[in-house]
Amino acid sequence: MRKQLLLALLALSALPAWAALNVFATVPEWGALAREIGGDKVTVFTATTALQDPHRIEARPSLLAQARRAQLVVATGADLEVGWLPLVIRDSGNANVQPGRPGYFEAARFVSLLDVPAVLDRTQGDVHAAGNPHIQLDPRNLLRVGEALALRLGELDPPNALAYQAAYQAFAGKFQAAIARWEKEAAPLRGLPVLAHHDSFVYLAHWLGFTVVGKLEPKPGIEPTSGQLSGLLARQQSAPARMVLRTAYQSDGPSLWIAGKTGIPALMLPFTVGGSPAAGDLFGLFDDTVQRMLKAAR
Ligand SMILES: [Zn+2]
């Protein structure tokens, strides 16, 4: 009898699910980063896919249920999820993941935000009023966020703190080598003038040195208007852009219209993990992004 009890206890402690930390990632890039650092010590739920606009997500009951069982919510912050995450967290009833608690992590706090306006103004539908939140396309930001995330995972799960550190170091070593390679490959993109549907690529441009000279949206979050598109066409005469970029989740209509009128390529970039078949993880995301841009620039 005693032996049976002992065996049962041993079986329980051997269950990986028993110890695994439940991580709720708002967007695929943080889900992928949490997997790189957490390995089999975390169970990651990713709330959105690359085919969804992270600004506009519905606070569905399934998201509430996942937030309820999470020990850690990993969000971008900088207003990216302001339309849905506060509601999901509040209604989850999970005290541990409320903002300010160790179970709530905002990636944007660990990087320098670009395009931060002098005055916060959310009127007229500007969804980037707190600065540009699409920080994941500068891979150096992923290293900063990853370092902070490894520390946070260790705080929440002290027995595995060293394992999270070691996993982060291993990831960072490989990622730094990849960054050096991407920078070399992408050298022909320096100074390249491009158009973008939404202001999705400012960190990518900042990193690789190309220039976003015009946006199809008149304001971040406002659908392209014919007036805005005509303005870009007129500008194309004097200062021609070489391609027009969009993410996997944006409609291709406005980009294709510009492409049809100007003859420049309309290019879809994966934007996050899962945004294209080749962007299966964080390495694939940048491999594919760089390759697609080089091909379109030829
Ligand atoms: Zn945006």
C-alpha 256 – ligand 1 centre gap (Å): 20
Strand order in the sheet with 266-269: 211-215, 193-196, 244-247, 266-269
Two tokens, residue 269 = 């970039």
C-alpha 290 – ligand 1 centre gap (Å): 21
C-alpha 125/C-alpha 164 separation (Å) is 40
- Confidence check: pLDDT of 9 > 60: no
* pLDDT at residue 104 in the model: 98
Work out the percent of the chain whose per-residue pLDDT is above 70: 93
C-alpha 247 – ligand 1 centre gap (Å): 11
Q: Residue 19 — pLDDT band, cuts 50, 70, 90?
A: low
C-alpha 267/C-alpha 261 separation (Å) is 15
Q: What phi and psi values does residue 74 have, to the nearest 5 degrees?
A: -110, 110
* Coil vs helix vs strand at 288: helix
CB-CB contact of 244 with 259 (8 Å): yes
C-alpha 89 – ligand 1 centre gap (Å): 21
C-alpha 199 – ligand 1 centre gap (Å): 6
Q: Which residues contact 4 (CB under 8 A, 6 or more apart)?
A: none
- Confidence check: pLDDT of 269 > 60: yes
C-alpha 198 – ligand 1 centre gap (Å): 7
* pLDDT at residue 233 in the model: 96
- Confidence check: pLDDT of 263 > 80: yes
C-alpha 246 – ligand 1 centre gap (Å): 12
C-alpha 46 – ligand 1 centre gap (Å): 19
DSSP annotation string for 132-176: B--GGGSHHHHHHHHHHHHHHHHHHSGGGHHHHHHHHHHHHHHHH
C-alpha 5 – ligand 1 centre gap (Å): 55
CB-CB contact of 95 with 36 (8 Å): no
* pLDDT at residue 122 in the model: 72
What would the pLDDT profile of 202-224 be if each residue is shown by its tens digit?
999 999 999 999 999 999 999 99
Identity at 166, one-letter amino acid code: A
Identity at 282, one-letter amino acid code: L
Identity at 256, one-letter amino acid code: L
* pLDDT at residue 16 in the model: 46
